[in-house]
């Protein structure tokens, strides 16, 4: 019998595929999460409280933009390392992983890939260290799954741009120092702009009343004739492909992160099933409970293998958007199912904050929707298989 199935199930010895550096990174983030997040997360979620000091601490432990070159304050690490970091943070909480993946994949990534040298030097080191928090504005009130319809726009006023419009459902926005905002120019071409807190006409109202990701702060971005300096336009890439490239990186991280949440729920369920006695024996001795545990371990093992192979392809530049969609879609749904089953195994105790599954379950409902909904990823795969886009009625 394998003895390591409690903490971090690794049924297929996937650790054999990791380097010593990977294992070191994983254990340092795991220790960080156990010390800084796990003892507090229940309280933060119950109070819908975003613990701002965690941003600086994430920076210190190297959780932001691990793939960015050290020249700009990043870790210069590969994509397996990035995945392991997301896995370990989301094992603690999906909302905490949101904070980290937005900062890394959605704010640092576009500045790193599409920014000018001046922009990289100005923003990346501060974002990496956690001295600055960023957010990513793509979604609008009337354009979620279909960002190409966005109406947020900017006009060239000669010595500056004038930005108008609004973004909705933006992670980190109420506390962010900068926002990477996607908006159309006068020709209708999408560009990324860096908008800084304090610019006149820029506000970030908070979204209240979430039942999900309660330790992560979410809000709007409102632009009312905001004067954006011309040097704040990301010069390297325009068109919808630019934000979609950022999403590829973030969705990849989510595939690993959701696996972490599933592993945590599985760990809790296995432990409880051996401790809880009913009808004179541990409930883990009943076939129906064993079926649940066996299926959880099977699905987690499949997801781990998917993540590792996808990570390798990310590093080789061979991972396609559809491959990333498959992993994001599969692993988030898998994690949601496992958190629900693990909740059932805990009976009534499962609904309390003493155990993590109910929180993971509520969090994963957002993860199923953001970064492309479960069904949008299905349609991305459908297009890959058939060559026919099915997103709208006029698609051919
Ligand atoms: P489509 O016509 O397919 O593509 C438009 C242009 O983009 C190019 N392209 C890509 N380029 C680079 N990388 C990719 N991955 C690319 N995918 C597409 C494409 O070639 C085309 O280029 P061109 O030159 O021909 O113009 O676009 P579409 O309008 O039909 O939309 C396709 C669809 C529906 C798949 C896309 O819009 C989509 O993915 N929608 C989902 C929206 C979404 O995921 N939003 C996420 C918002 S951010 C967020 O949720 C953060 S949560 C943060 C957290 O807390 O963790
Ligand atoms: P809609 O697009 O209106 O979709 C509603 C339903 O219709 C879904 O079930 C969808 O699958 C379905 N649907 C839509 N189109 C089709 C179609 N063609 N065929 C079949 N079904 C379809 N966005 C950001 O830009 N930055 C962020 O930081 C960010 N953080 C977020 C944090 C949270 C907590 C949440 C909940 C969302 C966040 N988002 C963010 C927004 C997120 O990306 C969107 O919610 C998501 O893309 C879906 O858009 P929507 O909510 O407008 O849903």
Residue 356 lies in domain: 241-386
Name the domain boundary from 99, 133, 167: 133
pLDDT tens for each residue of 365-393: 999 999 999 999 999 999 999 999 999 87
Give the ligand with the smallest distance to the CA of 383.
Answer: 1
Residue 157 has pLDDT above 90, yes or no: yes
Dihedral angle at the C-alpha atoms of 112, 118, 119, 121, nearest 10 degrees?
A: 70
Residues with CB under 6 A from ligand 1: 98, 101-102, 136, 138-139, 145, 147-148, 171, 239-241, 244-245, 247-248, 321, 370-372, 376, 380, 391
Examine residue 354 and state whether it is found in any structural domain, yes or no.
Answer: yes
Q: What band does 2 get if pLDDT is binned at 50, 70 and 90?
A: very low
Examine residue 391 and state whether it is found in any structural domain, yes or no.
Answer: no
Gap between the Cα atoms of 70 and 77, Å rounded: 9
227 CA distance to ligand 1 middle (Å): 27
Q: Which of 241, 388, 393, 395 to mutate to test the pocket of ligand 1 (most atoms within 8 A of CB)?
A: 241
Please indicate, yes or no, whether residues 310 and 209 belong to a single structural domain of this protein: no
b/e per residue 94-122 (b: at least 16 CB within 10 A): bbbbbbbbbbbbbbbbbbbbbbeeebbeb
Q: Mean pLDDT across the stretch 346-370?
A: 98
- As a whole number of angstroms, the longest Cα–Cα distance in the chain is 80
pLDDT tens for each residue of 250-266: 999 999 999 999 999 99
Q: What pLDDT score does 392 carry? A: 83
Residue 387 is encoded by which pair of tokens? 């060559």
Distances (CA, A) of 299 to 63, 306, 331, 337: 27, 11, 9, 10
Name the domain boundary from 189, 206, 232: 232
Examine residue 175 and state whether it is found in any structural domain, yes or no.
Answer: yes
Gap between the Cα atoms of 172 and 327, Å rounded: 25
Q: What pLDDT score does 7 carry? A: 65
Please indicate, yes or no, whether residues 46 and 118 belong to a single structural domain of this protein: yes
Please indicate, yes or no, whether residues 246 and 372 belong to a single structural domain of this protein: yes
Q: Is residue 191 helix, strand or coil?
A: strand
Residue 5 has pLDDT above 60, yes or no: no
CB 142, CB 98: distance < 8 Å: no
Active site residue 371: yes
Q: What pLDDT score does 395 carry? A: 55
69 CA distance to ligand 2 middle (Å): 31
Residues 6+ apart with CB under 8 A from 385: none
Gap between the Cα atoms of 160 and 173, Å rounded: 23
Residue 171 has pLDDT above 70, yes or no: yes
Residue 228 has pLDDT above 60, yes or no: yes
Please indicate, yes or no, whether residues 314 and 379 belong to a single structural domain of this protein: yes
Gap between the Cα atoms of 207 and 220, Å rounded: 7
User: From the alpha carbon of 135, which atom of ligand 2 is closest?
Assistant: 28
Q: What is the CATH number of the domain that holds 264?
A: 1.20.140.10
Q: What pLDDT score does 8 carry? A: 73
Residues 6+ apart with CB under 8 A from 133: 55, 99, 103, 127, 172, 175, 176, 177
Q: Mean pLDDT across the stretch 6-23?
A: 90
pLDDT tens for each residue of 20-59: 999 999 999 999 999 999 999 999 999 999 999 999 999 9
Please indicate, yes or no, whether residues 266 and 220 belong to a single structural domain of this protein: no
User: From the alpha carbon of 147, which atom of ligand 1 is closest?
Assistant: 37
Examine residue 98 and state whether it is found in any structural domain, yes or no.
Answer: yes
Please indicate, yes or no, whether residues 23 and 122 belong to a single structural domain of this protein: yes
pTM listed for this prediction: 0.97
367 CA distance to ligand 2 middle (Å): 10
pLDDT tens for each residue of 111-121: 999 999 999 99
Helices within the chain (DSSP H only): 20-32, 41-46, 53-61, 79-92, 94-101, 109-114, 117-129, 241-275, 287-316, 321-345, 357-369, 374-386
Please indicate, yes or no, whether residues 102 and 217 belong to a single structural domain of this protein: no
Q: Mean pLDDT across the stretch 162-190?
A: 98
């Amino acid at each position: 019998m394998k003895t390591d199935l409690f903490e971090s199930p690794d049924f297929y010895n996937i650790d054999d595929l990791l380097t010593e550096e990977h294992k070191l990174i994983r254990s340092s983030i795991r220790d960080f999460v156990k010390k800084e997040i796990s003892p507090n997360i229940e309280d933060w979620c119950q109070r819908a409280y975003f613990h701002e000091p965690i941003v600086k601490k994430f920076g210190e432990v190297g959780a932001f933009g691990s793939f960015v070159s050290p020249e700009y304050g990043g870790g210069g690490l590969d994509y397996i390392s990035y995945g392991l970091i997301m896995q370990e943070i989301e094992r603690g909480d999906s909302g905490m992983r949101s904070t980290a993946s937005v900062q890394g994949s959605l704010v640092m990534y576009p500045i790193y890939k599409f920014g000018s040298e001046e922009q990289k030097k100005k923003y990346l080191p501060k974002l990496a260290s956690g001295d600055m928090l960023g957010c990513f504005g793509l979604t609008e009130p009337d354009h979620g799954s279909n960002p190409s319809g966005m109406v947020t726009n900017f006009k060239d006023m000669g010595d500056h741009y004038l930005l108008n419009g609004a973004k909705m459902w933006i992670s980190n926005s109420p506390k962010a120092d900068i926002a990477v905002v996607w908006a159309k120019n006068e020709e209708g071409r999408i560009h990324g702009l860096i908008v800084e807190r304090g610019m006149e006409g820029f506000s970030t109202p908070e979204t209240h009343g979430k039942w999900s990701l309660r330790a992560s702060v979410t809000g709007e971005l409102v632009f009312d004739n905001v004067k954006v300096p011309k040097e704040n336009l990301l010069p390297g890439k325009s068109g919808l492909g630019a934000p979609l490239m950022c999403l590829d990186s973030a969705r990849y991280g989510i595939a690993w992160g959701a696996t972490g949440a599933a592993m945590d729920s599985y760990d809790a369920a296995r432990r409880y099933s051996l401790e809880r006695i009913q009808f004179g024996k541990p409930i883990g001795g009943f076939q129906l409970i064993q079926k649940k545990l066996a299926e959880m371990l099977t699905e987690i093992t499949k997801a781990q293998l998917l993540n590792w192979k996808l990570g390798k392809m990310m590093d080789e530049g061979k991972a396609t958007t559809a491959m990333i969609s498959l992993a994001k879609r599969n692993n988030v749904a898998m994690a949601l199912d496992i958190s629900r089953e693990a909740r059932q195994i805990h009976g009534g105790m499962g609904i309390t904050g003493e155990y993590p599954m109910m929180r993971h379950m509520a969090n994963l409902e957002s993860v199923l929707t953001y970064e492309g909904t479960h069904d949008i990823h299905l349609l991305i795969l459908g297009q890959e298989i058939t060559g026919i886009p099915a997103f709208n009625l006029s698609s051919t």
